[in-house]
Structures are given as structure tokens and as C-alpha cells.
């Protein structure tokens, strides 16, 4: 019997796709100019490769990514400048983030029948409390537990520890919880390895190249399909 529905945050409860596209475009332009390079196509290829390498390690710090780019070109960055750019990056993402239309309605409805919680990865910044959820204080009342993995010694998803910590705080077993997320490696595989029931959200309004993966994991395209989560895992 299900007792809890646990959510990821970005691209699960909020749509930040435009924010990330805009922030990435601005950051790439700043880097390219500051590096004094001449071949933009070659730079973008290297930048995206380095970014993917760090993302695959669950390192989402923009400053770390940019430092690796400078290292690749055998240059030493101004770390204060990178921190400034990182703050500007996340402000841009915040500015263009919005709740999915059905987010509040779904969370409110689920609260009548289930424990509701969140496990989200930090954005990679050193300071505690900088996660984008602070932009939506009206959501916090719907969550019994909020885990920001990557902060306070908690390793980021897909590590098992944030899932286990959330289950411990809810005082439930893994099989009693559904975990909903948009990232197959981080959310779906992480939740599955931790023993939860994963549900893969590919929101209909998000313009994105979803990975082509054959899986038996339930796939939904909008959050209100979760109003009867037992049906999804039966």
C-alpha cells in the first residue's frame, strides 16, 4: 500500500527550460569572449562535452564546469568573476521559472491521502539555502519533508542516501513510496535502486529531446495523472 508521493523539483514541479536555455546562452557568450577564442563552434563542442562529463558525475556547479573549461584551454580564470557569473546564471533561471499549471492542484489533492515530500539536487553552489525552491514559498506547506541533496554532507542523486534519508524521516519503507522525476539517470534509476516506485514525468509542455530508453517504468506527461498513484504501479 502506498503511503507517500515524493517529487523532484526542477522540470518536475516547475518549468525552467527557457531559463536554462537563456542562462546557458549568456554564460557561453561570456566564456567565449573572456577566453579570447576565435572558433566558436569548436568552443561550444568542448564546452558541452565538459558540461556533460560533470553532469554525469552529478556535479551541477556552473563554476566547476567553467573552471574545467579554462583548464582545458590552459588558462587561469578569475574565480570571483566566475562566482559573479554563477549568481547571474541562477538569477536568470529563476526569472524564467514557472510552476506547471497543475502543480498546486496536484500537491493539494495528494495531501489528503498521502505523505508528500521532495528530494532535489543542489544547484552546486556552496552557500546553503540558495536552491530555487525558495522562489516558491507557497509550495513548502505541501511537503512534510524536503531534502536538498548535495548540501550538508548529503550526496546528490542518484546516490541512495538522499532517498534513504527521506524515507527515514517519513518513517516508511521504500516500497510504500512513489518517486516522480524528469531525469532518467538521476531520478528514475536513483529511485529504482533505492527500492521506490519510480514514475518518469515527460511533461507535455517541456520542449526537450527525451532519451530513447526502453523501460517498464510508468511514464506520465502531466502531474495530475498522479492523483491515483496506486494505479500507476499496479
The pLDDT value recorded for residue 153 is: 87
Q: For strand 98-99 and strand 14-15, is the pairing parallel, antiparallel, or unpaired? A: antiparallel
* Cis previous bond, 158, omega within 30: yes
The alpha carbon dihedral of 132, 124, 155, 197 has a sign of positive
Residue 126 has pLDDT above 80, yes or no: no
Mean pLDDT (whole number) for 166-175: 98
Q: Where are the beta strands (DSSP E) in 54-187?
A: 98-99, 115-121, 145-149, 177-181
Q: Where are the beta strands (DSSP E) in the chain?
A: 4-7, 14-15, 98-99, 115-121, 145-149, 177-181, 197-201, 219-220
The pLDDT value recorded for residue 200 is: 97
Percent of the chain with pLDDT over 70: 95
pLDDT band, very low/low/confident/very high, at 166 (cuts 50, 70, 90): very high
Residue 8 has pLDDT above 80, yes or no: yes
Under 8 Å between Cβ of 5 and 180: yes
The pLDDT value recorded for residue 90 is: 87
Mean pLDDT (whole number) for 46-74: 93
CA angle 227, 230, 232 (to 5 degrees): 85
The pLDDT value recorded for residue 131 is: 64
Identify the DSSP state of 63. H
The pLDDT value recorded for residue 152 is: 84
pLDDT-wise least confident of 46-50, 129-133, 156-160: 129-133
CA gap 172, 174 in Å, rounded: 7
The pLDDT value recorded for residue 50 is: 97
Mean pLDDT (whole number) for 104-114: 97
Mean pLDDT (whole number) for 166-178: 98
The pLDDT value recorded for residue 207 is: 82
The pLDDT value recorded for residue 141 is: 92
The pLDDT value recorded for residue 129 is: 54
Helix (H, G, I), strand (E, B) or coil at 91: helix
Percent of the chain with pLDDT over 90: 73
pLDDT band, very low/low/confident/very high, at 60 (cuts 50, 70, 90): confident
Burial environment of residue 9 by CB neighbours within 10 A (0 to 12, 13 to 18, 19 or more): buried
Distances (CA, A) of 31 to 24, 42, 65, 142, 161: 10, 13, 11, 40, 35
pLDDT band, very low/low/confident/very high, at 130 (cuts 50, 70, 90): low
Residue 80 has pLDDT above 80, yes or no: yes
pLDDT in tens, 185-194: 999 999 999 9
Under 8 Å between Cβ of 58 and 158: yes
Amino acid at each position: 500500500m502506498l503511503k507517500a508521493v515524493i517529487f523532484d523539483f526542477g522540470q518536475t514541479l516547475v518549468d525552467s527550460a527557457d531559463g536554462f536555455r537563456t542562462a546557458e546562452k549568456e554564460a557561453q557568450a561570456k566564456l567565449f569572449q573572456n577566453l579570447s577564442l576565435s572558433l566558436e563552434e569548436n568552443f561550444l563542442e568542448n564546452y558541452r562535452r565538459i558540461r556533460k562529463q560533470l553532469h554525469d558525475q552529478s556535479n551541477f556547479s556552473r563554476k566547476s564546469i567553467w573552471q574545467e573549461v579554462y583548464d582545458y584551454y590552459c588558462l587561469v580564470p578569475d574565480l570571483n568573476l566566475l562566482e559573479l557569473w554563477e549568481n547571474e546564471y541562477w538569477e536568470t533561471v529563476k526569472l524564467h521559472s514557472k510552476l506547471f499549471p497543475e502543480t498546486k492542484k496536484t500537491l493539494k489533492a495528494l495531501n489528503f491521502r498521502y505523505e508528500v515530500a521532495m528530494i532535489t539536487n543542489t544547484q552546486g553552489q556552496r552557500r546553503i539555502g540558495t536552491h530555487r525552491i525558495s522562489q516558491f514559498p507557497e509550495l513548502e506547506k505541501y511537503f512534510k519533508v524536503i531534502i536538498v541533496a548535495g548540501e550538508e554532507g548529503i550526496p546528490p542523486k542518484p546516490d541512495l542516501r538522499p532517498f534513504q534519508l527521506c524515507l527515514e524521516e517519513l518513517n516508511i519503507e521504500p516500497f510504500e513510496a512513489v518517486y516522480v522525476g524528469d531525469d532518467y539517470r538521476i531520478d528514475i534509476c536513483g529511485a529504482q535502486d533505492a527500492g521506490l516506485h519510480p514514475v518518469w514525468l515527460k511533461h507535455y509542455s517541456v520542449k526537450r529531446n527525451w532519451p530513447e530508453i526502453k523501460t517498464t517504468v510508468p511514464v506520465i506527461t502531466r502531474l495530475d495523472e498522479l492523483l491515483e498513484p496506486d494505479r500507476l504501479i499496479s
